A and B are shown apart, each in its own frame.
Chain A
Amino acid sequence: MLHFSRLKINMILGLCLFGILFAAPNLLDEELAADLPGWLPHKQISLGLDLQGGSHLLLEVGVETVVRERLNSLVDETRAALRGARIGYSGLGTSGERVIVTLRDPAADLETARGLLRAVDRNLLVSADDDGSIELALSEPAMAEMRTAAVTQSLEIVRRRIDETGTREPTIQRQGSERILVQLPGIDDPERIKSILGQTAKMTFQLIDENTTVGDALLGRLPAGSEILESADRVDANGRPIQEVVRKRIMVSGEHLIDAQPTFQDNQPVVAFSFDPVGARKFGAVTSKNIGKRFAIVLDNKVISAPVIRSAITGGRGIISGNFTVSSATDLALLLRAGALPAPLTILEERSVGPDLGADSIRAGKIAAVLGLTFVLVFMGVCYGLFGLAANIALVMNVVLLAGALSALQATLTLPGIAGIVLTIGMAVDANVLVFERIREEMAAGRTPFSAVDAGYQRALITIIDSNVTTFIAAILLFGLGSGPVKGFGVTLAIGILTSLFTSVMVTRLIVVTWLRRTRPRSLPL
């Protein structure tokens, strides 16, 4: 254990040098570090939201809505197919994740119906019974694909919406199969972001049904093909939202919007929008046929405005005027630009930390780390003298390597992560304590200094490995706990175990052996 080949010495020193290089940028200002020449490591430790302040939002994509919508449209398609072939049926509807329908005359129509329904969608599994009951279900792969597509698309829309708000360096990533994790550094009051993400923002342009009144419609005389929708912000004398009877047929949908900007008209905040060519053509065609009539601009099933068409709008541009404030017009424009979510999002978890608390935590963490390190350094020096000095050099090197590893791996440092570093400082000397105590024993057993040091390292090594593996297992399990601060604790603890093994076994041994060879002492100051 006392022999070090030149190669090994160079590797140990090289690794320490690398650690210093990677840790060094953390001592510089952020801007200074970014300006370092490209061949030097310039990454700083990235701080978790609990240290730099910010918001963590865990969202769930309501994929079931997408499934339900698809089933509803399957019902419509089934109805159209059967009616088109003049096949009598009853009990058309959904049951669980399937569409069910019963034919009136199975003997005559079963085969025709089966063929027609199969043609509706190639992913459709059609099972028909001789008594005329037919069940339609989407194949598993098709369902899975639909769900995945909904989540992927939501992720994209969330990213666009957050980018549009001008948030600096957001992290938006998929978590699990149906969740999206949003991390917003520097945002401590995420109410605006939450409200922006909380809307599906499906926009449609639909004509108002002028052949009936809301009163008639409410009494049950609602024409087929029309629906009653509430106004988003206008209320009647009793404080209830104003209602409108709106034709279900969609003139133009929000997908055709290519731009939307907040602006002013007669000193009122409004949103100016423009359509793509297809949307512009459709909008022009409908408006030119319906001059003098009203149409509704519908957002998430609420009417935000219902203006009268004064002339054909063929340029593909228009203005939405509603009861807007400057900020609500800005947000609506943002939502329209970013596009609609395929399914509603639910906030499962929110954790926000203000910048003050983050700064306080960093300050407290730094003080605790420096004090903890000092305590341990003094204690080791007092208890092991010259050997303690070797252990202390290794301990400081360990902290440097840990900082270097965190910077190089770009692992996130959290407040519990700082606790992990301090804990590592306390536990890292354990390996040296084991070795030094062993050397003391071997000396007491009458060995010479060289042989005692040799035996001390050799015999303690097995114990060191056994005891570190167990702590490492615990640290690895911490990764599985949540996604935020606690995970950071596991990260620093795990990396700390690895670096401390290296420094306390390799670095101190190199120091002690070099010292032994230089001075050839008759007894050890231990």
Chain B
Amino acid sequence: MKPLRLIPRKTNFRFVGLRRLFYALSIAAMIASAGLFGVRGLNLGIDFLGGIMIEAQTAGPADLGAMRAVLGGLGLGEVTLQNFGAPDDVLIRVARQPGGEKEQQVAVAKVKRALAAMGAGDISYRRVESVGPKVSAELVEAGLTAVVAAVFLMLLYIWFRFEWQFSIGAVVALLHDVGLTMGMFALTQFEFNLASIAAILTIVGYSINDTVVVYDRVRENLRKYKTMPMADLADLSLNETLSRTVMTSATTLLALFALYFFGGEVIQGFVFAMMFGVVVGTYSSVFIAVALLLELKPTRRGGAKAEVEEPPGS
């Protein structure tokens, strides 16, 4: 059996020649993300806002209207209900109760009592989560710190392993990926919770991983072809690594597809964010990260050595 090649043996795409087009595309997407973020905001989950989330299973198809009327009448502020994966599965969210930690617990008990009175004990609780103001504030801090620390550490590592131009390029591509992912969350209004932060951290790791592979090849070619114009060298490096870039994105996406369709409702949002990140991360490594090197102009090491090896004028 002859192995199948997704990408022809030798490609010669002019990636960086079109870089202004991709810059424009990315800047437009970033502005759209920022706009969405500003206008619609994120649909923050209870991890960050505090409050209560209850997933209940009713004996038959749930009567959302009746449940909404009963729970809405408890005086607990905003209560939202929706089906979750199945008609007998209801997700109830109650806004954070004013006051402290005790008030959240009181509200959980109230909701449970009201549901028990309605459903005559036919309700089973699949999930009950309640987060008080202290913990939610801490989780916001932990989430932000983790993402900022991740970006900063990547910057340092790339700087340490490459040169500063590479680390700036990689981090710009990284911020691009994180920015667009946030924009996606604002657009779709998927719940943004602790798992979303985990997805973003994974995207950060994946995106940098992808960028590093291409940068590694640029660095190698910089040593190999000391006089090749930077644009040609960038294109050469991208074409040489294209097959790998596509293959790895494909296997990762295949695995994530399996999770998205079969992994259950609870992690669907989390997996979707990662799939989005893999696509955006691959795009930015190929079209943005390497092109940025043309603007940042890494020093071509060994220039002096090259003169010794090659006669002047050759």
Contacts and interface: CB of A to CB of B under 8 A. Distances in A.
Contacts of A426: 251-256
B3 A384 contact: yes
Given A493-B202, A525-B3, A470 B127 contact: no
Given A379-B251, A426-B253, A473 B154 contact: yes
Interface in B255-314: 255-259, 261-264, 266-267, 270-271, 274
Contacts of B2: 385, 525
B125 A188 contact: yes
A415 interface: yes
Interface stretch (B12-20, B28-36, B75-83, B191-199): B191-199
B258 A372 contact: yes
Given A422-B256, A429-B248, A480-B145, A470 B205 contact: yes
A466 interface: yes
A351 B112 CA distance: 15
Given A379-B250, A481-B194, A467 B212 contact: yes
Given A354-B127, A375-B255, A364 B262 contact: yes
B142 interface: yes
B5 A474 contact: no
Interface residues of A, number: 81
Question: Which size class do B's interface residues fall under?
Answer: 35 or more
Nearest to B274: A423
- In this complex, the member of B104, B109, B264 whose beta carbon has the largest number of chain A beta carbons within 10 angstroms is B264
B130 A350 contact: yes
B6 interface: yes
A490 B255 contact: no
A385 B127 CA distance: 46
Given A354-B127, A423-B255, A525-B3, A194 B105 contact: yes
Interface string B235-248: 00000110110011
Contact of A466 (B135, B146, B161, B195): B161
B259 A422 contact: yes
Contact of B248 (A188, A352, A427): A427
Contacts of B1: 385
B108 interface: yes
B212 A441 contact: no
A47 B45 CA distance: 25
Contacts of A352: 125, 127-129
B139 interface: yes
A176 to B, nearest CB: 10
A441 B11 CA distance: 12
Interface in A439-470: 440-441, 444, 459, 462-463, 466-470
Nearest to A58: B135
B3 A481 contact: no
B205 A382 contact: no
B254 A372 contact: yes
Contacts of B213: 434, 463, 466-467
A475 interface: yes
Interface string A475-503: 10110111001100110010000000000
Contact of B132 (A50, A347, A470): A347
Nearest to A385: B3
B127 A357 contact: yes
A364 B263 contact: yes
Interface in A335-369: 346-354, 356-357, 360-361, 364-365, 367-369
B204 interface: yes
Contacts of A384: 3
Contacts of B261: 368
4 closest pairs, A vs B, by CB? Answer: A426-B255, A474-B205, A364-B264, A372-B258
11 contacts: A189-B128, A349-B130, A351-B128, A356-B126, A372-B258, A415-B267, A423-B259, A437-B243, A472-B205, A480-B142, A525-B2
Interface of B: 1-6, 9-10, 47, 55, 57, 100-102, 104-105, 108-109, 112, 124-132, 134-135, 139, 142-143, 145-146, 149-150, 153-154, 157-158, 161, 194-195, 197-198, 201-202, 204-206, 208-210, 212-213, 216-217, 220, 240-241, 243-244, 247-248, 250-259, 261-264, 266-267, 270-271, 274
Given A347-B101, A348-B135, A475-B205, 13 more contacts: A191-B109, A350-B128, A375-B258, A383-B4, A384-B3, A415-B266, A416-B195, A423-B259, A434-B213, A437-B243, A462-B216, A467-B212, A489-B195
